[in-house]
Structure 1
Amino acid sequence: MRKLMIGALLGLSLMANVGCFVPIYSADPARRTNQLLYTSEDLRTVLDEWERIWFLDQPSHLKPYRVHGGII
């Protein structure tokens, strides 16, 4: 009984490390191509989202030259 439990535990731990139980992409090549294209487009927009969150996509209101502002 002990060997069976150890074997089952070893088998379960090995199965957990092999891969995903449910594949993320379809087995049909045409559908899988569409899914991969959609995923790559989502990853491409991550940089735009990051810039939008940190307000890096806003126009700069800085002057191209330094203005003193004091009385000379």
Structure 2
Amino acid sequence: MRRLLFAALLAVSLSNSTGCFLAAYDADPAVRARQLMYTSEELRQLREEWHRFWLLDQPNHMYPYNTHGGVI
């Protein structure tokens, strides 16, 4: 009986909590907006860093002719 009571208590306590135990962002809307902007800016910079790491931001050298990017 005791095990059943503990299992029911555990099930009720786990069903009441949704998401993380601690909130990732602040409850104040102004602070939360600033935190979300910082997070999105970091992700944008991460994408550019990923392109630099894999040399995707370099010119393509597979073309048979050279392009210098200046005015001809």
TM (normalized to structure 2)?
0.66
Cα 1:41–1:21, aligned 2, differ >3 Å: closer, same or farther?
same
1:27 aligns with 2:34: no
One-letter code aligned to 2:5:
L
Structure number with greater CO (CA < 8 Å, separation at least 6) is 1
Long gaps (5+) in structure 2: 67-72
Q: Name the count of aligned residue pairs.
A: 65
The Cα RMSD (Å) is 2.5
Q: Is 1:8 equivalent to 2:45 in the alignment?
A: no
Residue type matched to 2:45 in 1? Answer: T
Moved more, 21-30 or 56-65: 56-65
Identity level (%): 48
Query: For residues 1-72 of structure 1, what are the structure 2 equivalents within 5 Å?
Result: 1-15=2-16, 18-60=18-60, 64-65=64-65
Runs of 4+ in structure 1 deviating by more than 3 angstroms, as ranges, are 59-64
Q: What TM-score do the two structures reach when normalised by structure 1?
A: 0.66
**What is the distance in 1 between the residues matched to 2:53 and 2:39?**
21
Once the two structures are TM-superposed, the CA of residue 57 in structure 1 deviates from its matched residue by: 1.9
